[in-house]
Amino acid sequence: MAGHRLKLLICILVAVIIQVNGKGKELKIGGLNAYVTGPNNSNKAVILASDVFGYNVTHLRLIADKVGKAGYYTLVPDFFNGDPFVAGDPNRNMTDWISIHPADKGIEDAKPIIKALKRKGIIKIGAAGFCWGAKLTVDLTKSPNVQAAVLLHPTFITNQDIQEVKVPISFLGGQNDTGSRTASPTALRQYVAIMKAKRPKVDTYIKIFEGARHGWTTRYNDTDAPAVQRAAKAHKKMLNWFNKYLK
């Protein structure tokens, strides 16, 4: 657990948090508020599960807009019910926040969302998890809830989680993401090895991005050209994975 806390503290140190509206709109889906973008009449959906800073963050919503533009009904649920982690809050540290918003709770909250999407006529669903959101994303891969998944700088996942994955899964990591065993290049390569040994018929992909730290796909400085380019390449890798298995 100490390693996970260190990882989440690294999230805080590299965070660039700006709130924007994006091109989509906010709706209630499966009992949760969500940022929704992309064609409403699409029969394919993508769920983006956020890091601890929640769904109302610039870069994550821009990623959702990219996915929506590609033809997917895309949603970023508010798994924290209006209570994202606030860096520097003197009244509540990360440990206290995690005790209120454990990853296991997100797993349960995701189930009604899947049901709501299916009632809407969605026939294929992809899921991507960023940091905190990786745990609920990998849980969705253990049953026919989703048809493809992407984990980006994941936390809280275990080797046992990976052994139970049943759908194509992509791991996108950072070369310098070494704050926790769950997101380091070594850990991601181990996950791929587990998949090849336990689930050889399930397609698996891994890409380690040079120079990238934890949170690099969503929390980067817009004036840092190399960081922007790395993030854009990761977003494209994610979208290509969904295009391969959802279209």
CATH for 2-246, options being 3.40.50.920, 3.80.10.10, 3.40.50.150, 3.40.50.1820: 3.40.50.1820
Tens-digit pLDDT profile for residues 62-98:
999 999 999 999 999 999 999 999 988 888 998 999 9
Please state the domain extents for the chain: 2-246
Q: The whole model's pTM is what? A: 0.91
Return d(Cα 215, Cα 131) in angstroms, integer. Answer: 7
As a whole number of angstroms, the distance between CA 114 and CA 104 comes to 16
Give 178's pLDDT tier (boundaries 50, 70, 90): confident
Query: Cβ(30)–Cβ(113) under 8 Å?
Result: yes
Residue 188 has pLDDT above 50, yes or no: yes
DSSP at 180: S
Q: What is the pLDDT of residue 181?
A: 82
Q: What is the mean pLDDT of residues 154-182?
A: 93
Pairing of strands 44-49, 124-130: parallel
Say if residue 147 is exposed, middle or buried (CB neighbours under 10 Å; 0-12, 13-18, 19+). middle
Burial (0-12, 13-18, 19+ Cβ within 10 Å), 48: buried
